[in-house]
Amino acid sequence: MGGLFIQIHPERLPDELNQSNTKFSKIHHRFECGICSEFEFEQALLGALNSQKPAKEIWNQILGKWNVAALEEIRQYRSEYRMVLLSNTNAWHEEKFTQSLRDAGAEPLENYFDRVTLSHRKKMRKPDPEIFRQAIADQLDNKGQLITPRSWLFVDDSQENLNGAATLGLQTYLHPSNTSPVETMRRLGLLS
């Protein structure tokens, strides 16, 4: 979702939260897997920053604008393709992006996709192959046949996540972050 349908801006986060902060990276991973509490994450975030600003406000500033036009266009192809949204996210971001989607005049994500899978609800995150397996499980094609992993195309802006999907035999494509997924699918010849 992030970098495809909603812009993400990690550069908006304070430098203290960069990837070299391994202690914070570990708690962030656990938060996106839904295995640490919001309080625990808040304390780790504020501890890393030594800030008095509300933690949720700091963390949610990474989220940018929705590409509602892309959501609307993708939905038009649901009769041709099964569309599954799989996102590494957390409870704070879900609350924020749900509200910002509503503010943008759009419908809930579930109205655009056949399935929405969010990491913090599944207690795991990409690139764990199991989350891909669960996201595509039991999806049928237009003829009522089970869609095999090799028939899926997984589009993401992270090579690490693509590698996880590829271990299941999914086809993958590296998408340029914060650009339209519709344009990517057109380049691949999937959309007219």
- Contact yes or no for 23/84 (Cβ under 8 A): no
Residue ranges of domains in the chain, CATH in brackets: 1-192 (3.40.50.1000)
pLDDT at 118 over 80: yes
CA of 154: how far to CAs of 55, 114, 123, 170, in Å? Answer: 32, 15, 20, 7
Task: List pLDDT tens digits, range 138-185.
Answer: 999 888 899 999 999 999 999 999 999 999 999 999 999 999 999 999
The span from the CA of 69 to the CA of 170, in Å, is 27
Residue ranges of alpha helices (H) inside 50-152 are 55-60, 68-75, 91-103, 119-122, 129-136
Task: List pLDDT tens digits, range 41-83.
Answer: 999 998 888 777 899 999 999 999 999 999 999 999 999 999 9
Burial 133-159, CB ≥16 within 10 A → b, else e: eebbeeeeeeeeeebebeebebbbbbe
The mean per-residue pLDDT over the stretch 69-98 comes to: 96
pLDDT at 110 over 70: yes
- Contact yes or no for 32/90 (Cβ under 8 A): yes
* Lowest mean pLDDT, pick from 10-19, 90-99, 154-163: 10-19
- pTM as predicted: 0.93
Residue 24 structure tokens: 């914070």
Least Cα distance to 5 among 79, 92, 100 occurs for 100
With a pLDDT cut of 70, the percent of the chain lying above it is: 98
**DSSP letter for each residue of 117-130:** EEHHHHT--TT-HH
